[in-house]
Amino acid sequence: MPFLSDENQSSLRLDLLSWPEVEEYLENCKGVILPIGSTEQHGPTGAIGTDALTAQSVALEVSKRSRVVVAPTQPYGMAEHHLAFPGTMSLKPSTLLNLMHDLLVSLAMHGFERIFIINGHGGNIATIKSAFAQAYRSVSKMNLPLANTFRCKLANWFMVPEVYAEAKSLYGEKEGQHATPSEIALTLYLEPTLLKKQFALPKPAPAGPIYDYQDFRRRYPDGRMGSDPYLAKPNDGKIFLDKAASALTQDLTDFIQEQ
Ligand code: NI
Protein backbone atom coordinates (compact mmCIF):
# COMPACT_ATOMS: atom_id res chain seq x y z
CA MET A 1 0.00 0.00 0.00
CA PRO A 2 2.40 2.71 -1.16
CA PHE A 3 -0.15 5.47 -0.87
CA LEU A 4 -1.89 4.84 2.39
CA SER A 5 1.34 4.15 4.25
CA ASP A 6 3.07 7.24 2.89
CA GLU A 7 4.45 9.14 5.85
CA ASN A 8 4.95 12.28 3.80
CA GLN A 9 1.44 13.66 4.13
CA SER A 10 0.96 15.49 0.88
CA SER A 11 -2.22 15.35 -1.14
CA LEU A 12 -2.66 12.44 -3.52
CA ARG A 13 -3.23 13.90 -6.98
CA LEU A 14 -4.75 11.81 -9.75
CA ASP A 15 -3.03 13.94 -12.39
CA LEU A 16 0.38 12.90 -11.06
CA LEU A 17 -0.35 9.15 -10.93
CA SER A 18 0.24 6.62 -13.69
CA TRP A 19 -2.53 4.21 -14.64
CA PRO A 20 -0.89 1.23 -12.88
CA GLU A 21 -0.74 3.38 -9.76
CA VAL A 22 -4.46 4.18 -10.08
CA GLU A 23 -5.17 0.46 -10.51
CA GLU A 24 -3.18 -0.30 -7.38
CA TYR A 25 -4.89 2.52 -5.47
CA LEU A 26 -8.29 1.03 -6.34
CA GLU A 27 -7.33 -2.25 -4.67
CA ASN A 28 -7.24 -0.36 -1.38
CA CYS A 29 -9.68 2.51 -1.76
CA LYS A 30 -12.71 3.14 -3.97
CA GLY A 31 -13.06 6.80 -3.13
CA VAL A 32 -12.16 9.87 -5.18
CA ILE A 33 -12.53 13.60 -4.63
CA LEU A 34 -13.57 15.81 -7.55
CA PRO A 35 -13.34 19.59 -6.93
CA ILE A 36 -15.49 21.96 -8.97
CA GLY A 37 -15.55 25.75 -9.00
CA SER A 38 -16.62 28.51 -11.32
CA THR A 39 -14.87 31.16 -13.37
CA GLU A 40 -16.89 34.28 -12.63
CA GLN A 41 -16.76 37.82 -11.31
CA HIS A 42 -16.44 38.24 -7.55
CA GLY A 43 -17.03 41.96 -7.10
CA PRO A 44 -14.56 44.78 -7.84
CA THR A 45 -11.80 43.34 -5.63
CA GLY A 46 -12.26 39.56 -5.87
CA ALA A 47 -10.47 37.15 -8.21
CA ILE A 48 -12.38 35.66 -11.15
CA GLY A 49 -11.14 32.21 -10.11
CA THR A 50 -12.31 32.48 -6.49
CA ASP A 51 -14.68 29.50 -6.54
CA ALA A 52 -12.20 27.18 -8.26
CA LEU A 53 -9.24 28.27 -6.11
CA THR A 54 -11.19 27.75 -2.90
CA ALA A 55 -12.74 24.38 -3.85
CA GLN A 56 -9.35 23.13 -5.03
CA SER A 57 -7.56 24.16 -1.84
CA VAL A 58 -10.16 22.46 0.35
CA ALA A 59 -10.02 19.33 -1.83
CA LEU A 60 -6.21 19.15 -1.68
CA GLU A 61 -6.30 19.56 2.09
CA VAL A 62 -8.95 16.84 2.46
CA SER A 63 -6.85 14.54 0.28
CA LYS A 64 -3.80 15.27 2.42
CA ARG A 65 -5.66 14.35 5.59
CA SER A 66 -7.59 11.37 4.23
CA ARG A 67 -5.15 10.00 1.60
CA VAL A 68 -8.09 9.79 -0.81
CA VAL A 69 -7.08 10.64 -4.37
CA VAL A 70 -8.13 14.03 -5.74
CA ALA A 71 -8.98 14.51 -9.44
CA PRO A 72 -8.09 17.71 -11.33
CA THR A 73 -10.36 20.66 -10.55
CA GLN A 74 -13.21 21.46 -12.92
CA PRO A 75 -12.74 25.26 -13.12
CA TYR A 76 -15.93 26.16 -15.04
CA GLY A 77 -19.43 26.08 -13.64
CA MET A 78 -22.92 27.39 -14.15
CA ALA A 79 -22.42 31.17 -13.93
CA GLU A 80 -25.01 32.42 -16.43
CA HIS A 81 -26.14 35.26 -14.18
CA HIS A 82 -22.60 36.70 -13.97
CA LEU A 83 -22.13 37.04 -17.72
CA ALA A 84 -22.62 40.81 -17.77
CA PHE A 85 -19.23 41.11 -16.00
CA PRO A 86 -16.01 40.72 -18.01
CA GLY A 87 -13.98 37.61 -17.34
CA THR A 88 -16.92 35.38 -16.47
CA MET A 89 -16.92 32.09 -18.42
CA SER A 90 -20.07 30.04 -17.92
CA LEU A 91 -21.38 26.62 -18.87
CA LYS A 92 -25.09 26.36 -19.57
CA PRO A 93 -26.83 24.02 -17.10
CA SER A 94 -27.26 21.42 -19.85
CA THR A 95 -23.53 21.56 -20.70
CA LEU A 96 -22.49 21.25 -17.07
CA LEU A 97 -24.96 18.39 -16.59
CA ASN A 98 -23.45 16.46 -19.51
CA LEU A 99 -19.90 17.26 -18.46
CA MET A 100 -20.41 16.12 -14.87
CA HIS A 101 -22.31 13.03 -15.99
CA ASP A 102 -19.45 12.00 -18.29
CA LEU A 103 -16.82 12.52 -15.59
CA LEU A 104 -18.81 10.55 -13.02
CA VAL A 105 -19.41 7.66 -15.41
CA SER A 106 -15.72 7.62 -16.43
CA LEU A 107 -14.73 7.20 -12.80
CA ALA A 108 -17.40 4.54 -12.25
CA MET A 109 -16.06 2.51 -15.18
CA HIS A 110 -12.75 2.10 -13.35
CA GLY A 111 -14.36 1.04 -10.09
CA PHE A 112 -14.53 4.29 -8.14
CA GLU A 113 -17.62 3.60 -6.02
CA ARG A 114 -17.67 6.78 -3.97
CA ILE A 115 -17.31 10.13 -5.69
CA PHE A 116 -17.07 13.12 -3.36
CA ILE A 117 -17.62 16.44 -5.10
CA ILE A 118 -16.15 19.45 -3.28
CA ASN A 119 -17.96 22.45 -4.71
CA GLY A 120 -17.14 26.15 -4.41
CA HIS A 121 -20.15 27.71 -6.17
CA GLY A 122 -23.83 27.80 -5.17
CA GLY A 123 -24.91 28.08 -8.81
CA ASN A 124 -23.60 24.56 -9.49
CA ILE A 125 -25.68 22.78 -6.85
CA ALA A 126 -28.88 22.03 -8.76
CA THR A 127 -27.03 20.84 -11.85
CA ILE A 128 -24.58 18.64 -9.94
CA LYS A 129 -27.50 16.91 -8.21
CA SER A 130 -29.14 16.37 -11.60
CA ALA A 131 -25.89 14.89 -12.91
CA PHE A 132 -25.87 12.40 -10.02
CA ALA A 133 -29.36 11.19 -10.98
CA GLN A 134 -28.35 10.85 -14.61
CA ALA A 135 -25.11 9.03 -13.72
CA TYR A 136 -26.97 6.55 -11.49
CA ARG A 137 -29.21 5.67 -14.42
CA SER A 138 -26.26 5.26 -16.80
CA VAL A 139 -24.25 3.13 -14.38
CA SER A 140 -27.27 0.85 -13.85
CA LYS A 141 -27.93 0.53 -17.56
CA MET A 142 -24.28 -0.26 -18.24
CA ASN A 143 -24.45 -3.14 -15.74
CA LEU A 144 -21.15 -2.16 -14.23
CA PRO A 145 -20.02 -4.44 -11.38
CA LEU A 146 -20.38 -1.56 -8.90
CA ALA A 147 -23.92 -0.66 -9.98
CA ASN A 148 -25.34 -1.40 -6.53
CA THR A 149 -22.66 0.40 -4.56
CA PHE A 150 -21.94 3.43 -6.75
CA ARG A 151 -22.68 6.67 -4.95
CA CYS A 152 -21.95 10.37 -5.38
CA LYS A 153 -22.02 13.01 -2.67
CA LEU A 154 -22.01 16.79 -2.92
CA ALA A 155 -20.05 18.80 -0.35
CA ASN A 156 -20.31 22.59 -0.58
CA TRP A 157 -17.36 23.78 1.49
CA PHE A 158 -18.89 27.22 2.18
CA MET A 159 -22.01 25.58 3.65
CA VAL A 160 -20.13 23.42 6.17
CA PRO A 161 -21.81 24.38 9.48
CA GLU A 162 -18.49 25.21 11.20
CA VAL A 163 -17.47 27.46 8.29
CA TYR A 164 -20.84 29.18 8.15
CA ALA A 165 -20.82 29.81 11.91
CA GLU A 166 -17.29 31.23 11.77
CA ALA A 167 -18.22 33.53 8.87
CA LYS A 168 -21.28 34.80 10.74
CA SER A 169 -19.26 35.44 13.89
CA LEU A 170 -16.49 37.29 12.01
CA TYR A 171 -18.59 39.27 9.53
CA GLY A 172 -22.26 39.12 10.65
CA GLU A 173 -24.66 40.32 7.97
CA LYS A 174 -21.73 41.61 5.91
CA GLU A 175 -20.95 38.03 4.87
CA GLY A 176 -23.70 38.57 2.26
CA GLN A 177 -24.44 36.16 -0.60
CA HIS A 178 -21.84 36.72 -3.28
CA ALA A 179 -18.18 37.81 -3.21
CA THR A 180 -18.39 36.99 0.48
CA PRO A 181 -15.56 37.90 2.85
CA SER A 182 -15.18 34.20 3.76
CA GLU A 183 -14.39 33.06 0.23
CA ILE A 184 -12.26 36.15 -0.46
CA ALA A 185 -10.33 35.53 2.77
CA LEU A 186 -9.46 32.03 1.61
CA THR A 187 -8.16 33.35 -1.71
CA LEU A 188 -6.04 35.95 0.13
CA TYR A 189 -4.53 33.16 2.21
CA LEU A 190 -3.84 31.06 -0.89
CA GLU A 191 -2.62 33.87 -3.16
CA PRO A 192 -1.07 36.75 -1.18
CA THR A 193 -0.68 38.79 -4.41
CA LEU A 194 -4.46 39.33 -4.29
CA LEU A 195 -4.07 41.47 -1.16
CA LYS A 196 -3.05 44.49 -3.20
CA LYS A 197 -6.37 44.44 -5.07
CA GLN A 198 -8.32 45.03 -1.84
CA PHE A 199 -9.79 48.41 -1.02
CA ALA A 200 -12.77 49.74 0.96
CA LEU A 201 -16.00 49.54 -1.01
CA PRO A 202 -19.28 51.45 -0.70
CA LYS A 203 -22.30 49.75 0.82
CA PRO A 204 -23.30 46.90 -1.51
CA ALA A 205 -26.68 46.28 -3.05
CA PRO A 206 -28.66 44.00 -0.71
CA ALA A 207 -29.02 40.33 -1.62
CA GLY A 208 -32.16 39.57 -3.62
CA PRO A 209 -33.44 37.48 -6.50
CA ILE A 210 -31.40 36.20 -9.45
CA TYR A 211 -32.81 36.30 -12.97
CA ASP A 212 -30.89 36.87 -16.20
CA TYR A 213 -27.40 38.35 -16.43
CA GLN A 214 -28.46 41.85 -17.48
CA ASP A 215 -30.97 42.06 -14.66
CA PHE A 216 -28.26 40.81 -12.28
CA ARG A 217 -25.94 43.69 -13.20
CA ARG A 218 -28.77 46.22 -12.82
CA ARG A 219 -29.63 44.93 -9.35
CA TYR A 220 -26.03 44.37 -8.21
CA PRO A 221 -24.02 46.97 -10.15
CA ASP A 222 -20.60 46.11 -8.72
CA GLY A 223 -21.23 42.37 -8.63
CA ARG A 224 -21.55 41.94 -4.88
CA MET A 225 -24.74 40.75 -3.20
CA GLY A 226 -24.84 42.25 0.29
CA SER A 227 -21.21 41.46 1.13
CA ASP A 228 -18.24 43.45 2.37
CA PRO A 229 -15.16 41.57 1.15
CA TYR A 230 -12.88 44.28 2.58
CA LEU A 231 -13.38 42.58 5.97
CA ALA A 232 -11.52 39.51 4.68
CA LYS A 233 -8.11 38.77 6.19
CA PRO A 234 -5.69 36.06 5.05
CA ASN A 235 -5.62 34.49 8.49
CA ASP A 236 -9.41 34.14 8.40
CA GLY A 237 -8.90 32.14 5.22
CA LYS A 238 -6.53 29.80 6.99
CA ILE A 239 -9.19 29.18 9.65
CA PHE A 240 -11.89 28.54 7.03
CA LEU A 241 -9.63 26.09 5.22
CA ASP A 242 -8.93 24.16 8.39
CA LYS A 243 -12.59 24.07 9.48
CA ALA A 244 -13.82 23.02 6.03
CA ALA A 245 -11.13 20.36 5.63
CA SER A 246 -11.73 18.91 9.12
CA ALA A 247 -15.46 18.56 8.65
CA LEU A 248 -15.24 17.28 5.08
CA THR A 249 -12.49 14.76 5.86
CA GLN A 250 -14.87 13.23 8.40
CA ASP A 251 -17.80 13.34 5.95
CA LEU A 252 -15.68 11.70 3.25
CA THR A 253 -14.45 8.96 5.57
CA ASP A 254 -18.04 8.17 6.62
CA PHE A 255 -19.18 8.26 2.99
CA ILE A 256 -16.51 5.80 1.83
CA GLN A 257 -17.30 3.40 4.70
CA GLU A 258 -21.08 3.67 4.24
CA GLN A 259 -22.68 0.31 3.41
NI1 NI B 1 -17.92 32.48 -5.11
Alpha carbon of 251 to ligand 1 centroid (Å): 22
> How far apart are alpha carbons 81 and 90 in whole angstroms?
9
Average pLDDT estimate for 230-240? 98
> Can you give the pLDDT at residue 77?
98
**Nearest C-alpha neighbor of 38 from the set 148, 151, 123:** 123
> Can you give the pLDDT at residue 5?
46
pLDDT higher than threshold 80 for residue 4:
no
Q: Average pLDDT of the chain? A: 96
Query: What H or E segment, with its residue span, contains residue 56?
Result: helix 50-66
- 1 in a structural domain: no
> Can you give the pLDDT at residue 80?
98
Alpha carbon of 122 to ligand 1 centroid (Å): 8
Domain count across the chain: 1
pLDDT higher than threshold 70 for residue 6:
no
- 2 in a structural domain: no
Alpha carbon of 236 to ligand 1 centroid (Å): 16
Average pLDDT estimate for 105-114? 98
- 250 in a structural domain: yes
- pLDDT, tens only, 184-233: 999 999 999 999 999 999 999 999 999 999 999 999 999 999 999 999 99
Domain housing 77: 14-257
**Nearest C-alpha neighbor of 54 from the set 67, 44, 40:** 40
Alpha carbon of 151 to ligand 1 centroid (Å): 26
Q: Could you tell me what percent of the chain has a pLDDT over 90? A: 95
Q: In what order do the strands lie in the sheet with 114-119?
A: 69-70, 31-36, 114-119, 151-156
Q: Which one is predicted more confidently, 6 or 237?
A: 237
- 4 in a structural domain: no
Q: Give backbone dihedrals phi and psi of 180, rounded to 5 degrees, phi first.
A: -75, 150
DSSP state of 225: B
7 residue type, one letter: E
- 124 in a structural domain: yes
SS3 content of the chain, % helix, strand, coil (to 5): 55, 10, 35
Assign residue 139 the CATH number of its domain: 3.40.50.10310
- 6 in a structural domain: no
> Can you give the pLDDT at residue 7?
53
Which residues fall inside 5 Å of ion ligand 1, going by CB? 50-51, 183
- 3 in a structural domain: no
- 5 in a structural domain: no
Average pLDDT estimate for 106-130? 98
